[in-house]
Structures are given as C-alpha cells and as structure tokens.
C-alpha cells in the first residue's frame, strides 16, 4: 500500500457552508482513517475479513450513532456531521462505512426511535463505543426488494415469543452481539425484535465468496425456534414503515459515503495522470484524460451540493424519503462511473491493489444494490413525481 496522500477536493468552496465543528469532525475522521485503516485495508479486502480491532476507534471518532443524544452515549451531532463521517470512512472503503452505517442507522436508530427506555439504556451506550456490535435483518433469501413479503415469523409463548425463519446478506452478522430482526406476528404485522447472540437456536453463518465489500463481514441469520423475551420487541412502531424508516437514515449516510469513494478515485487518477509520462509528457496533458478528470470533478461537485442541501433538510426535519432515494441513487451511480473511468486512466496499474480504485469499483457494485437497488430508487422517484406505483 502506498502512503495515503489524499487531501480532499472542494471545487465550489463547500467548506464555507460547514461550521468549525463540522470541519473538526471531518478532519479527525480523516486523520484516524489515514493512520489506522489505510495501511491495512488492502490486506483486509484480500483476506476477506473485517478488522475488528478498529471497532473502539470507530466509536472514539463518533462513527457509531453520531446523531444519537449524549444521554444514550451518542455524540449528539447533526446530520451534516453524520454525513461527513460516512464520507471519510467510505473514502477509504465502503465496507468500513457499511459497518458504521449499519450500527448507527439500522441498529441504534430503531432502538432509539422505536425502543423502550429500558432497551435504550441497555443497548445504546455499549453500541456507541463499539463494545457491542449489531446487525439488521430485513432481507430474506426470497425477499430482497420486496421485504413486505417476508416469511420470518413469531408466535406467542407466555412472556416470550418463538421466532422462526432466515435472513440473508446481513452485514456484520458473523460477529454481532445483537441483531435487530424484522418478523411477522400471528396476524402478519411486521415488528422489530432484538435477538441476542447465545439465544438457543440462533446462528449466524458467514457468507464467503464475495468479490465486493470483502473487508466487511456478511452472513445469514438463522432462527430455529428461538425463544425471545417479549421485552426484546421494539414497542413503539410496527409495520413495514418501521424498517423502511431506518433505511432512510442509512441511505442518507450512503449518499455522503459514495462521494468519499468517488473523491478517492478522482484524487488517485489526478495524481497519477500528473506523474505518468507517455509520448514525452504527463498523460494529464492529453485532452482525452482532461475530459475524464473534468467530468469527474463536475459530477462530484454536483453530488456535494445535492447532498449538503439534503443534510440541511434533514437537520430541519423536512427531507422526504423520495429525496433521500434520489441522492442515494445519483451519488452511487456517480461514484461507480468515476471508479470505472479512473481505473482506465491508470492503465494496467489500475487493476493492482497498490491503488484503491479497483477495490472501490468492486465495493460499489454492492452499494448500488443494497439499501434499495438502483432500479428501486428510480421507481420511488417515479412514484413520487407521477403518483403512480410501478412496483406491483
């Protein structure tokens, strides 16, 4: 791995829109990533393992539940701060950001928003420090884009429920202490349950063989007559809207994160193009390469503006789910296009792990699929502007 020389790119002076606190938070996350993660990330991806020793550090930079109130162990920050942290993590690796966004938006968020006071006090402080890690079980082998069709279910048994079913493609599952699991009750209504490692009949087999997001652990959640105390059911919200509300928060973080991946690819290609000499001059001097770089920074800048505005709307409680879908879809597509162009700019060197581009490109193939596919987000926008539902 080369020394991480990344410095950031701000073509439209976006920093003017940030407070001093925002810049401090972003710069601290960037410095931590450069020191602790950049030197080991290629090996982690190569070996297909999430470096778990990073968890306390992620907690210390505020990456776990940045916007959760301090009384529950969170950092009490605003939505722009959350976005900036996700951007810095994904600038290094989408899997690193995945670990943080699952913990924050898919585990801590539902406990904070839909949980009882006892559940909040029991779980949130340990999740904020990284002492405990959680995962989020919505997707099933036969229900991905259509989570409302899920078959995982529970039946009442005194002060417990008996949970049966299976979830697939679950980030952090192999090592998580708890899982926020979405399952149907006897009437078919969806509820969130906190399932703890060690409950009899609960297993989390690892899924191997991914060519994408290799530095993030993915697994299944299997429930074979698991007895879960009723006290572990999230009491304050049920129905499909409950897990979808968590996805809004995670998709917002991904919109910021994708900008980070795009910035790293652009930064790498720009630096390489100034150093690589062909036909007696740097390849940066050729118009074809300038076109690629100019288009990259244009698209990154447009995404930065869109996403900062979305952050402001979220701070004001005014961002709609459809606006979040548009930003997630646009920014991930922008990042994957830039990764492909940047890879070509490095020629043969672009396929090597000495540079991060190929890893970003492969990671983004997951990011464009999870948290709602590229198609699903287009249909959400389509439904929002036409009033017509094209899903079913």
| 245 lines the binding site for ligand TGC (CB under 6 A) | yes
Residues catalogued as catalytic: 371
Q: Which is nearer to ligand FAD, 180 or 296 (CB)?
A: 180
Among 159-167, 181-189, 221-229, 369-377, which window interacts with ligand TGC (CB under 6 A)?
369-377
Q: How far is the CB of 204 from ligand TGC (least distance, A)?
A: 15
| 239 lines the binding site for ligand TGC (CB under 6 A) | yes
At a CB cut-off of 8 Å and minimum separation 6, what does 245 contact? 110, 113, 237
- Of residues 316 through 335, those in contact with ligand TGC by CB under 6 A are 321
- The residue nearest ligand FAD at its CB is 144
| 380 lines the binding site for ligand TGC (CB under 6 A) | yes
Q: How far is the CB of 378 from ligand FAD (least distance, A)?
A: 9
Q: Would you tell me which residues interact with ligand FAD (CB under 6 A)?
A: 102, 135-139, 144-145, 169-171, 213, 218, 366, 369-371, 373, 375-376, 379, 391
101 contact choice in ligand TGC, ligand FAD, none (CB below 5 to 8 Å, kind-dependent): ligand TGC
Number of residues that bind ligand TGC (CB under 6 A): 24
If DSSP codes are grouped into helix, strand and coil, which group holds residue 320?
coil
Q: Which is nearer to ligand TGC, 112 or 370 (CB)?
A: 370
Q: Which is nearer to ligand FAD, 107 or 345 (CB)?
A: 107
Out of 38, 79, 87, 171, which residue is the one contacting ligand TGC (CB under 6 A)? 171
Residue 328's Cβ-side half-sphere holds a number of Cα atoms within 13 Å equal to: 29
CA–CA distance, 96 with 134 (Å, rounded to integer): 14
Q: How far apart are the first and last CA of the chain?
A: 47
Strands (DSSP E) contained in the chain are 134-137, 153-157, 160-171, 178-184, 190-196, 202-203, 218-229, 277-278, 281-282
If DSSP codes are grouped into helix, strand and coil, which group holds residue 64?
coil
Q: Which is nearer to ligand FAD, 87 or 103 (CB)?
A: 103
Q: Contact 253/104 with Cβ under 8 angstroms?
A: yes
CA–CA distance, 16 with 311 (Å, rounded to integer): 15
Among 137-145, 272-280, 339-347, 354-362, which window interacts with ligand TGC (CB under 6 A)?
137-145
Q: Which residue is associated with the tokens 């972003």? A: 26
Other C-beta atoms closer than 10 Å to the C-beta of 19 total 11
Torsion sign (Cα): 132, 124, 158, 166: negative
CA–CA distance, 22 with 33 (Å, rounded to integer): 17
| 102 lines the binding site for ligand TGC (CB under 6 A) | yes
Q: What residues line the site for ligand TGC (CB under 6 A)?
A: 98, 101-102, 136, 138-139, 145, 147-148, 171, 239-241, 244-245, 247-248, 321, 370-372, 376, 380, 391
């Amino acid at each position: 791995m080369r020394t991480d020389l990344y410095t950031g790119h701000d073509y439209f002076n976006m920093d003017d829109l940030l407070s001093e606190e925002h810049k401090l938070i972003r710069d601290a996350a960037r410095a931590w990533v450069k020191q602790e993660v950049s030197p080991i990330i290629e090996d982690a991806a190569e070996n297909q393992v999430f470096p778990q020793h990073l968890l306390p550090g992620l907690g210390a930079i505020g990456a776990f539940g940045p916007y959760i109130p301090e009384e529950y162990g969170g950092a009490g920050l605003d939505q722009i701060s959350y976005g900036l942290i996700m951007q810095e993590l994904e600038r290094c690796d989408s899997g690193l950001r995945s670990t943080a966004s699952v913990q924050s938006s898919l585990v801590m968020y539902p406990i904070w928003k839909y949980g009882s006071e006892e559940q909040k006090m029991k779980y949130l402080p340990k999740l904020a420090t990284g002492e405990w890690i959680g995962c989020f079980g919505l997707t099933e082998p036969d229900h991905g884009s259509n989570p409302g069709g899920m078959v995982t279910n529970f039946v009442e048994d005194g002060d417990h429920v008996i949970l049966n079913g299976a979830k697939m493609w679950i980030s952090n599952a192999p090592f998580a202490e708890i899982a926020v699991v979405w399952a149907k009750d006897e009437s078919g209504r969806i509820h969130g349950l906190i399932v703890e490692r060690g409950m009899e009949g609960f297993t989390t087999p690892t899924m191997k063989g991914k060519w994408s997001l290799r530095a993030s652990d993915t697994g299944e959640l299997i429930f074979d007559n698991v007895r879960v105390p009723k006290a572990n059911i999230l009491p304050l919200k049920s129905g499909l809207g409950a897990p979808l509300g968590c996805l809004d928060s995670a998709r917002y973080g991904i919109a910021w994160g994708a900008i980070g991946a795009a910035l790293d690819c652009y930064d790498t290609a720009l630096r390489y193009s100034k150093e690589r000499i062909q036909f007696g001059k740097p390849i940066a001097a050729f118009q074809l390469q300038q076109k690629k770089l100019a288009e990259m920074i244009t698209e990154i800048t447009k995404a930065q503006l869109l996403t900062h505005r979305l952050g402001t709307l979220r701070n004001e409680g005014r961002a709609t789910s459809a606006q979040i879908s548009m930003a997630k879809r646009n920014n991930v597509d922008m990042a994957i296009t830039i990764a492909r162009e940047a890879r070509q700019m490095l020629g043969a060197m672009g396929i090597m792990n000495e540079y991060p581009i190929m890893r970003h490109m492969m990671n983004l193939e997951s990011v464009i699929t999870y948290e709602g596919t590229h198609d699903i987000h287009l249909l959400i926008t389509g439904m929002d502007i036409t009033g017509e539902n094209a899903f079913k």
